[in-house]
Amino acid sequence: MPPVTQIQARRRLIVVILLCVALGGAVLRHLSAPGSTQRDVGTLLMLLWIPIIGNIIAWLVNRMRAARALRKTVAATAAAPAASPRPDTPFAPHAWVELTLRPAGVPAEDLPIAEGLHHCALVIGNEGFSVRWQVGPGQSFRRGTRQTLPVEFMAPGAALPRLKPGVVFRLLVGEAFIGDGQVLRLSKP
């Protein structure tokens, strides 16, 4: 489970406080005589919980949508024919892309991207394609900087018909999107 951000911690605290106020209102309402001001105040305190219920429902709907989109992406990646080259095969780029890797969440992980082959899924809409991309010998770059790099698709027959120059994509590693980019040009066969 990812670490809780400061905003998420504040939201949780607000939800807990409003829940306690609503419970206090329920107790006040229960202990007060019908028609008294105390009973009315207890009712109002209980009503403070209503906006939180809407926020919880919206949060659950967004979580379900995100999970459904991730399942579609994973299913599309898994459905592609397994034509991945062996690690010892030479790198043969199918396209040139411009990509920007998202900054690292932890300063200790903010290291330069080293030379060599890197593997991920290139996601266009709700379709994912396994790729490997190469940082040339003696080169490296930092996250957050725009780079032009070659990519090789593991199943080019499934991916290339859906690619055109200008198509925007995201890079997926595991369950996290690590970067964004766009197709510049396709390599000549």
Mean pLDDT is lowest, of 14-28, 43-57, 64-78, for 64-78
- What are 82-89's contacts with CB under 8 Å, separation 24+? 82/154, 82/155, 83/154, 83/155, 83/156, 83/157, 84/130, 84/154, 84/155, 85/152, 85/154
How would you classify the pairing of strands 95-101 and 176-186? Answer: antiparallel
Q: Indicate the burial class of 52 (C-beta count within 10 angstroms; 0-12, 13-18, 19 or more).
A: middle
Mean pLDDT is lowest, of 15-19, 62-66, 103-107, 159-163, for 103-107
Question: Residue 86: what pLDDT?
Answer: 56
Rounded to whole angstroms, the Cα distance separating 149 from 96 reads 6
- Domain extents for the chain? 6-69, 95-186
Residue labelled with tokens 């400061």: 6
Question: Residue 28: what pLDDT?
Answer: 94
Rounded to whole angstroms, the Cα distance separating 181 from 148 reads 9
Rounded to whole angstroms, the Cα distance separating 38 from 31 reads 9
Which three-class secondary structure state does DSSP give residue 179?
Answer: strand
Per cent of the chain over pLDDT 90 is 13
Rounded to whole angstroms, the Cα distance separating 86 from 55 reads 48
Per-residue pLDDT band at 82 (split at 50, 70, 90): very low
CATH topology of domain 95-186: Elongation Factor Tu (Ef-tu); domain 3 (2.40.30)
Rounded to whole angstroms, the Cα distance separating 95 from 182 reads 11
Question: Residue 81: what pLDDT?
Answer: 45
pLDDT beyond 80 at 55: no
Neighbours of 51 (CB within 10 A): 10
pLDDT beyond 80 at 3: no
Q: Indicate the burial class of 176 (C-beta count within 10 angstroms; 0-12, 13-18, 19 or more).
A: exposed
Q: How many helices (H) and strands (E) does the chain have?
A: 4, 6
CA angle, 87 then 90 then 96, to 5°: 105
Residue labelled with tokens 């299913």: 75
Question: Residue 182: what pLDDT?
Answer: 92
pLDDT beyond 60 at 77: no
The whole-model pTM stands at 0.51
Question: Residue 155: what pLDDT?
Answer: 83
